[in-house]
Amino acid sequence: MNWVAIGLIILMVTIFLIVIIVMSKLTVYAYFNHYNGNNHLQLEFKVWFGLVKYRVDVPLPTANEDSGSAILNEEMEHDGTNPSQEYGKDPGGDLGTSLNDVKKLLDEMEQLHRILKNFLKQIAIKHLEWHSVVGVGDAASTAVLTGGIWALKGSIIGMISSYMKLKMMPVLSIAPGFQQVISETSFTCMLQFRIGHAMVAGIKMIKFGKGAGLRFITKPFSAHSENKAKSI
């Protein structure tokens, strides 16, 4: 009888801990800065009023105009062909099968969008600040650029508010540098959601990944892969 009582106590404690974890709210702080071509992103996670927290610095690439062309040239030298020459080649197979693949892909993307949208609805944005300084050295061009960035920021905030819950009005600012060439941005955001909602979304994503894994590898694409392997 004692073993039964001990087992029940362990079971009740386990259930209690699971409920506590599922119902707990995870707070995420995001800090992003762009200054002199350098980017810095820091994420901080807190749970149980800061008793458990974790901070990570996310490495971001710096602005490099030659990186894209260097990668393209490296791919051309490796393959020995121009990527544009590959465009338009018939991968083989039936056009109807390819269209069927596209339809399946669109259906899967719709399902993925539904999963993400349901999770994003559970996220509450508690704080959002976005400050920028821009200038191109010419007053007229800087004024036009400032107006365009205001419109862009408004569109982004509108899209965020349609997917998530904005608990406070965002603090936005754009300072034009009329007589200088400058580009600086600082972004701070605090959002919160329950761990249980993230777990449910994660389980759905795993099921989605298993179901959609190799679904689109049909005969036309397989034939193309086989022909490419033979040519190598």
Domain tally, the chain: 1
The pLDDT of residue 24: 92
CA distance 81 to 58: 36
The pLDDT of residue 220: 47
The pLDDT of residue 189: 96
Q: Is residue 101 part of a domain?
A: no
Listed in sequence order, the DSSP H helices in 80-138 are 83-86, 95-120
Residues 6+ apart with CB under 8 A from 35: 184
CA distance 204 to 23: 18
The pLDDT of residue 209: 78
Q: Is residue 16 part of a domain?
A: no
Residues 6+ apart with CB under 8 A from 199: 22
Boundaries of domain holding 45: 26-60+120-211
Q: Is residue 98 part of a domain?
A: no
The answer to whether the CB of 181 falls within 8 A of the CB of 134 is no
Per-residue burial over 99-114, b if 16 or more Cβ lie within 10 Å, else e, is eebeeeeeeeeeeeee
What stretches in the chain show pLDDT beneath 70?
1, 63-97, 211-232
Q: Is residue 40 part of a domain?
A: yes
Q: Is residue 171 part of a domain?
A: yes
Q: Is residue 107 part of a domain?
A: no
Q: Is residue 30 part of a domain?
A: yes
The pLDDT of residue 225: 43
CA distance 206 to 16: 26
DSSP 17: H
Q: Is residue 93 part of a domain?
A: no
The pLDDT of residue 207: 84
